[in-house]
Amino acid sequence: MEKKRCTITTIARELGIAPSTISRAFDPGSRISDEARRRITEYAAARGYVPNRAAARLSARETCIGVILNAAYAPGLNELLRGIEDALRENYDYKLNAEVRLLRFTTKEEETDAVRRALSELSDCRALIVSGITAPESTALIARRCADGIPPVLLQSEINGLHGLFTSAHDPAASAVMAAEFLSCCLRHGRKRVALFTGNRDATVHSAAVRAFEEAAVRLGLDITLSFDMKDDPAVLEAALPRLLGKDTADGIYITSGQSLPLCRYVKGLSARPALVTFDTYPELDSYITDGTVSATIYQDLCSQARAAFTLLAKYLLEGTMPPKRFSPVPVLVLPCVLHEYRAKEAAALSRLNVRDV
């Protein structure tokens, strides 16, 4: 005889609880005591009950996820937006909405003002995804908002002072060690003087890269003769290059920022080009890779980072599925021969995203 399927009605009758209370126990955002939720979910698990998530969403109201992105790095921004669009499309059976706010600023004061405005506009969102925030005042504003029960997810990098539900980011240490090992191979039979250029070291992603690269350099016998923080600002980098890189200063270079075009242009003009490892893949970098100025570049897959951040957060909100503390796609060292596989794709039509500058 076929065993009768356990339903919400069955559990409600057996526990003497209203069916609506049973439903709320499986919704992480609902108001129900921890003891009642524990009692119901444990009993349901023992009876083999599996919630019908899709059916539950049919009568639920739309779930809005707020996204706050630093818009300074256009190639990366397009990949992040494409990843969120992909997540919305892949989870079409849920009632999801993304409210995206792009922050454009040049000073920490402007960043804080932009974050304040974005948080005001995203007051109805059930959760936040945050990327590219570095000012302590901005972080404090987000932390205060999240203290009200709004779980934050950190995208692209950890953020000092902000404890997220989880982080979706590339592994800067793995990328740095990969770059150091590649440069060591390039310089195996010659001098091993290397220069390290980083983006803003106030951001955890770049400070972690520095530590990993320095440790790998010691192990591999590389001599770091120059370490410079360009603050993720191409103008700062361009102005400093004539002073930092002479005709014969470095045999190898690694830059952890995607804002590497001034360095590429400068290295191309040198009579003796050092081995150069850059970061990210985007159309403007292609010619420097194909002509040999750039020996290799590291692809961090921002699209996958954003898609995972949105999808894992949505499943947490709607299903109660606890995400891993960190999601990191494997970094890839891209050589000229496979460049066509990694060229930055055009941003998808972002018709489902409510994107607005702040």
The tens digit of pLDDT for each residue in 189-209 reads 889 999 999 998 888 889 999
Q: Which tokens belong to 156?
A: 């692209």
Rounded Cα gap, residues 60 and 287, in angstroms:
50
Please check the confidence at residue 52 and state whether its pLDDT lies above 90: no
pLDDT at 2 (0 to 100): 45
Rounded Cα gap, residues 279 and 79, in angstroms:
14
Please state the rounded mean pLDDT for residues 343-353. 60
28 vs 270, higher pLDDT: 270
pLDDT at 4 (0 to 100): 60
Decide if 162 contacts 130 (C-beta within 8 A): yes
pLDDT at 352 (0 to 100): 67
pLDDT tens per residue across span 295-322: 999 998 999 999 999 999 998 888 788 8
Please state the rounded mean pLDDT for residues 129-158. 91
Buried (b) or exposed (e) across 100-134, using 16+ Cβ within 10 A? bbbbebeeeeebbbbbeebbeebeebbbbbbbbbb
Please check the confidence at residue 1 and state whether its pLDDT lies above 50: no
Please check the confidence at residue 331 and state whether its pLDDT lies above 80: yes
Q: Return the closest-CA partner of residue 92 out of 323, 310, 356, 347.
A: 310
Rounded Cα gap, residues 29 and 244, in angstroms:
54
- Taking CB atoms within 8 Å and a gap of at least 24, the contacts of 25-32 are 26/51, 26/56, 26/320, 27/56, 27/318, 27/320, 28/316, 28/317, 28/320, 29/126, 29/317
Least confident piece of the model among 130-134, 202-206, 249-253:
202-206
Q: CA-CA distances (angstroms) from residue 202 to 125, 152, 225, 244, 352?
A: 28, 20, 22, 21, 33
Q: Which tokens belong to 332?
A: 């890839």
Rounded Cα gap, residues 288 and 268, in angstroms:
8
Least confident piece of the model among 12-16, 161-165, 214-218, 351-355:
351-355
Rounded Cα gap, residues 233 and 199, in angstroms:
8
Residues in the chain: 358
Considering the entire predicted model, what is its pTM? 0.74
